[in-house]
Amino acid sequence: MRAFEEIEAALEDEEFQSALSKASLGTQAKVEEVLRSRPELLALAEEVREIKRAAIARLDELLEQAMNSLRAVRATPHLAETAEEAREIVGKLIGRGKLVVLSKSMAAAEVGLRPYLEAMGNEVWETDLGELLIQLEGTKPMHTITPAVHMSRRRAVELLEKAGAKVEGESIESAVRAAREFLRGKIVRAQAGITGANALAADTGAIVTVENESNVRLVSSLPPLHIALVPVDKVVPTLMDAIKVAMVQSAFAGLYPPTYINVISGPSSTADIERTRVYGAQGPVEQHVVFIDNGRTAARKGALAEQLYCIRCGRCQYECPVWIHTANRWGGPVYGGPMGLVWTAITYDANEAAKLSFLCLGCGRCDEACPVGIPLSRLIRELKAYAMRDLK
Ligand code: SF4
Mean confidence (pLDDT) of the chain: 96
Question: Closest Cα partner for 142 from 326, 311, 321, 348?
Answer: 326
Q: Which fold has domain 57-294?
A: Rossmann fold (3.40.50)
Confidence of residue 391 (pLDDT cuts 50, 70, 90): confident
Q: Which atom of ligand 1 is nearest to the CA of 376?
A: 1
Across residues 40-68, what is the average pLDDT?
98
Q: Whose CA is nearest to atom 4 of ligand 1?
A: 316
Q: Does pLDDT of 392 surpass 70?
A: no
Q: Whose CA is nearest to atom 7 of ligand 1?
A: 310
**CATH, range 2-37+302-390:** 1.10.1060
The pLDDT of residue 3 is 85
Q: Whose CA is nearest to atom 2 of ligand 1?
A: 370
With helix as H, strand as E and coil as C, how does the chain read? CHHHHHHHHHHHCHHHHHHHHHHHHHHHHHHHHHHHHCCHHHHHHHHHHHHHHHHHHCHHHHHHHHHHHHHHCCCEEEEECCHHHHHHHHHHHHCCCCEEEECCCHHHHHCCHHHHHHHCCCEEEECCHHHHHHHHHCCCCCCCCCCCCCCCHHHHHHHHHHHCCCCCCCCHHHHHHHHHHHHHHHHCCCCEEEECCCEEECCCCCEEEEECCCHHHHHHHCCCEEEEEEEHHHEECCHHHHHHHHHHHHHHCCCCCCCEEEEECCCCEECCCCCCCEECCCCCCEEEEEEECCCHHHHCCCCCHHHHHCCCCCHHHHHCCCHHHHHHHCCCCCCCHHHHHHHHHHHCCHHHHHHHHHHCCCCCHHHHHCCCCCCHHHHHHHHHHHHHHHCC
Confidence of residue 291 (pLDDT cuts 50, 70, 90): very high
The pLDDT of residue 293 is 98
Q: Do residues 352 and 332 touch, judged by C-beta distance below 8 A?
A: yes
CATH 3.40.50.10420 domain range(s) in the chain: 57-294
The pLDDT of residue 263 is 98
Residues 181-206 have pLDDT tens digits of 999 999 999 999 999 999 999 999 99
Percent of the chain at pLDDT exceeding 90: 94
Instruction: Choose the residue to mutate in 372, 377, 379, 380 for probing ligand 1, maximizing ligand atoms within 8 Å of C-beta.
Output: 372
Residues 76-131 have pLDDT tens digits of 999 999 999 999 999 999 999 999 999 999 999 999 999 999 999 999 999 999 99
42 CA to centre of ligand 1 in angstroms: 14
As for ligand 1, residues whose beta carbon falls within 6 Å of it are 144, 310-316, 339, 369-372, 374, 376
CATH 1.10.1060 domain range(s) in the chain: 2-37+302-390
315 CA to centre of ligand 1 in angstroms: 6
Q: Does pLDDT of 390 surpass 90?
A: no
Confidence of residue 1 (pLDDT cuts 50, 70, 90): low
Which residues, in sequence order, are CB contacts of 34 under 8 Å at separation 6+? 41, 251, 254, 256
78 CA to centre of ligand 1 in angstroms: 27
377 CA to centre of ligand 1 in angstroms: 12
Residues 323-350 have pLDDT tens digits of 999 999 999 999 999 999 999 999 999 9
Length in residues, the chain: 392
The pLDDT of residue 170 is 82
The pLDDT of residue 134 is 96
The pTM of this model reads 0.96
